[in-house]
């Protein structure tokens, strides 16, 4: 079913299921509860809801009184203010104009009421999580800043431009409806290989699944053991090589590492048969083999990010099962291996939705990147959706030029069989954490066999891989693990250049099962985790050797220059 802005079926179904959960918790029958047998939970919620309603009416009176007194120039307390960092109500009218002030105060109060109402319900935690998520979607969508008639900035701009801003906004809206995507950045502002993904190197191998890039050295001496990076196949690899000032690839080569990068193919219809095993065996494992062959090293060091880390960890478990010792250490960046607490992405996953996908694309087909991109945008709709709606459609402004948002909009497809296997076995059934529960490439998988030194990074505000979930990797691997918690979120927390010396990270030698206990014992360090990581990696990089100026080898000669053509392919 086609919907505006590539809204996937899971999003619409999630809204319906959240509504059904709400109805049921209030004691109102739905299709599976017509006799009211599931309505008993409403009794335990009713007292809390009654108190909440009484408190809401009291606060509504206080807010109204506050606005009236402020308008009369009288001192008043009891007003509500947006959360720190919420810039929606920065215009002076929201403070100085009594009507706008009342509108803002009412919205903030009603938002709080909706949030507290959900928390007051007595219901299954999984259902409550879904209801929280979709309640937040509605609350953020109904902000008065999202509508022309109730946004003073929009009205002022329309007046100043004699309506031209509204006309431009309508043109922008029609253009986005035509292409089916919400524009979040100027997609013509950057060119892959020219403005982003500019580190020098060459493609030294390719198959139907990925290209392997080797980067040119930046130092006269390099570590004997190279570094292989396996990025997520859900996004393109150049998030790790955006521009020279924030390139993780650049940082690594400048610190004397020979860097190889997996560049996943952006699947089209011809790739609709690829499964999870293909990404493990013909992707990560093949890349490890070729990296070691080209470098001639006894072992290599590997890095995996997000689902790339899940693929890499699976590959390492299989290699260790086979007695392969070609990897010296593993680094996982915001990677989930234990999916018991999957965060907001879990609201889209249940048996019914997974089975529907398996019946449509599970045996062959493509999960469109535009749909997946919409899902990720909803996880941060206050930052990624509604500001762009206001600026692009209500104010008629052109989209901003921002490399990270350009990357975010450069979506990738996924093969249907691979996606369905991943969602069922990871998000739905959480099988990977259980030794020998899963079989991949014909062998049982036990993460405990990964007895390698491991550097595990999580980020405290991660909305895709909650840091407490990433922490559980420390109890799954069989080797010594250094866990580091970085500031910020899933992307900005990882791409935190050492040269800018921003943010901070937490470290602790304490080893325990409980993430909260670990955090309580951790010390906060200023600056980027990159410096901590490069110091840790040196122990596994071996001695320094003269850098080779020739990329590739006789068996794997260099081909097209980096970043290669796979990363330039657009999802269709």
Measure the CA–CA gap between 372 and 361, rounded to whole angstroms. Answer: 14
The values of phi and psi at residue 92, to 5°, are -65, -25
> Is 219 found in the same domain as 127?
no
pLDDT at 35: 45
> Is 473 found in the same domain as 353?
yes
> Is 440 found in the same domain as 329?
yes
DSSP state of 91: S
The number of residues making up the chain comes to 572
> Is 205 found in the same domain as 131?
no
> Among 47-51, 239-243, 326-330, 531-535, which stretch is predicted with the lowest mean pLDDT?
47-51
pLDDT at 24: 60
pLDDT at 181: 85
> Is 246 found in the same domain as 332?
yes
**Please, are residues 211 and 556 in contact by the beta-carbon 8 Å criterion?**
no
> Is 127 found in the same domain as 213?
no
Nearest to 226 by CA among 236, 211, 239, 216: 216
**Please, are residues 326 and 299 in contact by the beta-carbon 8 Å criterion?**
yes
Mean pLDDT of the region 73-77:
72
Nearest to 390 by CA among 95, 142, 171, 148: 148
DSSP state of 245: G
Structure tokens that stand for 239 in this block: 């998030």
Mean pLDDT of the region 463-474:
96
Measure the CA–CA gap between 460 and 304, rounded to whole angstroms. Answer: 18
- What is the share, in percent, of the chain residues with pLDDT greater than 70? 92
* Spatial CB neighbours of 466, under 8 Å, sequence gap ≥ 6: 341, 342, 343
Residue whose pair of structure tokens reads 């104010």 in the numeric block: 395
Q: Residue 396: is its pLDDT beyond 90?
A: yes
> Is 355 found in the same domain as 277?
yes
User: Looking at the 3D structure of the chain, how many domains does it have?
Assistant: 2
Structure tokens that stand for 68 in this block: 């009236």
pLDDT range class, residue 36, cuts 50, 70, 90: very low
Asked if residue 550 belongs to a domain, the reply is yes
Distances (CA, A) of 416 to 235, 271, 273, 311, 466: 16, 9, 7, 16, 25
Asked if residue 191 belongs to a domain, the reply is no
What angle, 0 to 180 degrees and rounded to 10, lies between the N-to-C axes of helices 164-179 and 152-160?
Answer: 110
pLDDT at 39: 46
Residue whose pair of structure tokens reads 């590539």 in the numeric block: 6
> Among 97-111, 203-217, 317-331, 438-452, which stretch is predicted with the lowest mean pLDDT?
97-111
Asked if residue 75 belongs to a domain, the reply is yes
The values of phi and psi at residue 61, to 5°, are -65, -45
Mean pLDDT of the region 497-503:
89
Q: Residue 545: is its pLDDT beyond 90?
A: yes
pLDDT range class, residue 1, cuts 50, 70, 90: very low
Q: Tell me the pLDDT tens digit for each residue of 224-278.
A: 999 999 999 999 999 999 999 999 999 999 999 999 999 999 999 999 999 999 9
Asked if residue 413 belongs to a domain, the reply is yes
Mean pLDDT of the region 57-84:
80
> Is 335 found in the same domain as 252?
yes
Q: Which domain holds residue 90?
A: 4-142
Mean pLDDT of the region 48-72:
82
Q: Tell me the pLDDT tens digit for each residue of 310-328.
A: 999 999 999 999 999 999 9
> Is 209 found in the same domain as 131?
no
Asked if residue 195 belongs to a domain, the reply is no
In three-state secondary structure terms, 467 is helix
Q: How deeply is 340 buried, as exposed, middle or buried, from its count of CB atoms within 10 A (0-12, 13-18, 19+)?
A: exposed
Asked if residue 157 belongs to a domain, the reply is no
Structure tokens that stand for 203 in this block: 């493609």
Asked if residue 73 belongs to a domain, the reply is yes
Structure tokens that stand for 77 in this block: 């307390």
Mean pLDDT of the region 60-84:
79
* CATH code for the domain of 341: 3.40.50.1820
> Is 336 found in the same domain as 482?
yes
Whole-structure pTM value: 0.91
The values of phi and psi at residue 384, to 5°, are -105, -25
> Is 222 found in the same domain as 134?
no
**Please, are residues 238 and 563 in contact by the beta-carbon 8 Å criterion?**
yes
Asked if residue 159 belongs to a domain, the reply is no
Residue-averaged pLDDT of the chain: 91
pLDDT at 264: 98
**Please, are residues 275 and 417 in contact by the beta-carbon 8 Å criterion?**
yes
Q: Which residues are catalytic?
A: 306
Q: Residue 6: is its pLDDT beyond 80?
A: no
pLDDT at 192: 97
In three-state secondary structure terms, 260 is strand
Measure the CA–CA gap between 96 and 42, rounded to whole angstroms. Answer: 42
Measure the CA–CA gap between 527 and 538, rounded to whole angstroms. Answer: 19
* Spatial CB neighbours of 156, under 8 Å, sequence gap ≥ 6: none
DSSP state of 425: I
> Is 336 found in the same domain as 426?
yes
Structure tokens that stand for 342 in this block: 């999957």
Domain boundary among 108, 126, 142: 142
The values of phi and psi at residue 547, to 5°, are -65, 140
Find the distance separating the first CA and the last CA of the chain, reported in whole Å: 16
């Amino acid at each position: 079913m086609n919907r505006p802005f590539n809204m996937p079926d899971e999003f619409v179904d999630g809204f319906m299921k959240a509504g059904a959960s709400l109805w049921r918790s209030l004691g109102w029958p739905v299709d599976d509860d017509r006799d009211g047998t599931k309505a008993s939970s409403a009794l335990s919620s009713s007292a809390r809801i009654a108190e909440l309603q009484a408190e809401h009416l009291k606060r509504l009176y206080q807010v109204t009184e506050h606005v009236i007194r402020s308008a009369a120039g009288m001192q008043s307390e009891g007003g509500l203010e947006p959360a720190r960092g919420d810039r929606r109500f920065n215009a002076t009218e929201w403070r100085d104009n009594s009507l706008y002030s009342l509108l803002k105060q009412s919205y903030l109060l009603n938002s709080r009421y909706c949030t507290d109402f959900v928390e007051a319900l007595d219901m299954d935690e999984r259902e409550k999580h879904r209801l929280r998520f979709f309640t937040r979607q509605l609350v953020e969508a109904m902000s008065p800043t999202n509508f022309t008639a109730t946004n003073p900035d929009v009205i002022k701009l329309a007046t100043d431009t004699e309506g031209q801003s509204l006309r431009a906004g309508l043109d922008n809206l029609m253009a986005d409806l035509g292409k089916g995507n919400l524009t979040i950045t100027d997609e013509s502002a950057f060119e892959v290989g020219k403005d982003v993904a500019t580190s020098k190197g060459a493609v030294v191998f390719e198959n139907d699944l990925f290209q392997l890039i080797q980067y040119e050295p930046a130092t006269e001496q390099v570590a004997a053991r190279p570094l292989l990076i396996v990025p997520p196949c859900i996004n393109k690899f150049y998030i790790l090589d955006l521009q020279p000032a924030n390139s993780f690839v650049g940082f690594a080569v400048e610190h004397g590492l020979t860097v190889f990068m997996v560049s996943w193919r952006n699947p089209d219809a011809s790739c609709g048969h690829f499964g999870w095993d293909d990404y493990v065996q013909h992707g990560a494992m093949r890349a490890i083999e070729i990296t070691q062959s080209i470098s001639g090293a006894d072992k290599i060091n590997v890095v995996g990010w997000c689902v790339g880390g899940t693929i890499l960890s699976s590959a390492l478990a299989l290699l260790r099962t086979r007695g392969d010792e070609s990897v010296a250490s593993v680094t996982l960046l915001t990677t989930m291996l234990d999916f018991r607490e999957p965060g907001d992405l879990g609201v889209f996953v249940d048996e019914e939705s997974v089975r529907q996908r398996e019946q449509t694309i599970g045996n062959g087909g493509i999960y469109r990147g535009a749909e997946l991109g919409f899902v990720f945008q909803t996880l941060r709709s206050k930052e990624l959706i509604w500001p762009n709606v206001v600026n692009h459609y209500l104010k008629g402004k052109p989209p901003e030029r921002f490399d990270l948002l350009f990357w975010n909009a450069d979506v990738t497809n996924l093969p249907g069989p691979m996606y369905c296997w991943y969602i069922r076995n990871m998000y739905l059934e959480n099988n990977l954490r259980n030794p020998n529960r899963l079989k991949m490439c014909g062998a049982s998988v036990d993460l405990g066999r990964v007895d390698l030194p491991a550097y595990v990074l999580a980020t405290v505000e991660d909305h895709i891989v909650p840091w407490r979930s990433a922490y559980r990797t420390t109890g799954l691997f069989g080797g010594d693990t250094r866990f580091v918690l970085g500031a910020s979120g899933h992307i900005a927390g990882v791409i935190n250049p050492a040269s800018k010396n921003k943010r901070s990270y937490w470290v602790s030698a304490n080893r325990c099962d409980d993430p909260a206990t670990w955090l309580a014992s951790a010390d906060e360090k200023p600056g980027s985790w990159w410096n901590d990581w490069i110091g840790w990696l040196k122990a596994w990089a071996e001695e320094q050797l003269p850098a080779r100026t020739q990329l590739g080898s006789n068996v794997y000669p260099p081909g097209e220059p980096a970043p290669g053509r796979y990363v330039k392919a657009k999802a269709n």
